[in-house]
Chain A
């Protein structure tokens, strides 16, 4: 099963397993990872599921579509080159291991 590691700013990290086809946001919600609010439940409407992805990982992922790109311009924590909305990142058999960092604030 795909694995996601969630890193918090305090340096702590938690690795969880999820079914392929689920999003990184869903992995966080199912495992009660703090710092991912996901108020709209993954409909790309709230930008409260913001994460930072490393540059190497970014290249492996489908790029953000226009809607996500616009939402990323409006996140509460600053947008960085590795910013993504975790509800739009799907874990697959190809992208089966991913590390994301949770920003300081979502709301």
Chain B
């Protein structure tokens, strides 16, 4: 048999994990990783946290050591863009005109920031945050800035707001809906986080959207809001969500919804084409509807589906069966989420809000389906276990912060 060739499109978490797992599970063929970016895979979460605050510099961002690529015989090709794929010929085309054959293709193209289509969105003072170069540019612009306006009360926007407040900037956050993080969290946690931001001195304006950004003669900009006023500030960060990079897949005729549709092995609708990471919509075994392909957009989902895809390439398929989890750091608050927020769950409260240490558990038919923890890692870890084992639990045990949830697993 000729040597099998795995081509990975993308150069971030999903790409790196597909390569690592394919090798771990014994794939002996060739691996090429083709990425548009100029640097090897690096960590994104710090871009809105410790990198922006200056705690972590570029040298500490790489996902793996340099020798990973040679040790694992991964031909890492940076600064190259894949422009089309041909599933029948089993090859793909690069922007420079060359063609690459594949036996397995893994689409790990990730996502891009959703753009806000308002006048002034392309001004130099306006930022989106996805890549290292976005973060470097933002960091440079913050130097000497006094007032930042964040458009969008999502995770990235709020993390940037927290860092900038700690750097001493005045910060205003505009959120178009009636609460921050509304789609991701129960109201109680959203309100707590909002109050925390306000206590830190951030001005959070709900039900307020940006209509236009104009440049002032002194170099500052003004964000004209739906309320009719204008916020004068030095820099603007727009964080209103991400769009999956699925054009390649769509043009090649692969089944897509919002995201490239795959199964729990990362297998797309086309033979020998896999997808993983922020571009892939897949059925999550712990969702309200476990058949419905969904985009999870987290490191956990990315790595776990990529691991499954790698195992498939190596001929030892290990389907995705993980409990989703996510974290966000804002000020001294560590938010950890286990499971998926559904909207139909009942909530059980544990802990002490005034001590900034509590959790909200989402229950469905006497089982924990989600948990949102503030500075309570043990609650979070135990919730992951309770969700994974689909265990029935007593509400009274959850509510009693003195009751060690760990004992539920001790037999």
Q: Point out residues on A near B: beta carbons under 8 Å.
A: 22, 26, 29-32, 39-41, 43-47, 67, 70-71, 73-74
Contact = CB atoms under 8 A, between A and B. Distances in A.
B299 A71 contact: no
B406 A29 contact: no
B359 to A, nearest CB: 12
Contacts of A47: 377, 381
Minimum-distance CB pairs A-B, first 10:
A74-B381, A70-B378, A45-B327, A30-B65, A70-B377, A71-B377, A41-B43, A32-B65, A32-B68, A31-B65
A20 B58 CA distance: 16
8 contacts: A32-B64, A39-B299, A40-B45, A41-B45, A43-B327, A45-B336, A45-B377, A74-B406
B46 interface: yes
A37 to B, nearest CB: 9
Interface string B47-76: 001000000000010111101100100000
B142 interface: no
B108 to A, nearest CB: 17
B382 interface: yes
B196 interface: no
Given A74-B377, A74-B382, A43 B329 contact: yes
B375 A67 contact: yes
Contacts, number: 58
Interface residues of B, number: 27
A29 B20 CA distance: 13
Contacts of A74: 377-378, 381-382, 385, 406
A44 B377 contact: yes
B36 interface: no
A70 B406 contact: no
A40 B299 contact: yes
B209 interface: no
Contact of B62 (A30, A43, A70): A30
A79 B382 CA distance: 15
Given A29-B62, A67-B375, A74-B381, 12 more contacts: A29-B65, A31-B65, A39-B300, A40-B299, A44-B377, A45-B327, A46-B327, A67-B334, A70-B376, A70-B378, A73-B381, A74-B377
Contact of A43 (B45, B60, B64): B45
A30 B299 CA distance: 19
A67 B46 contact: no
Residue from the set B43, B67, B381 with the largest chain A CB neighbour count within 10 Å? B381
B303 interface: yes
A32 B64 CA distance: 6
B46 to A, nearest CB: 7
Contacts of A30: 62, 65
Nearest to A73: B378
A41 B298 CA distance: 13
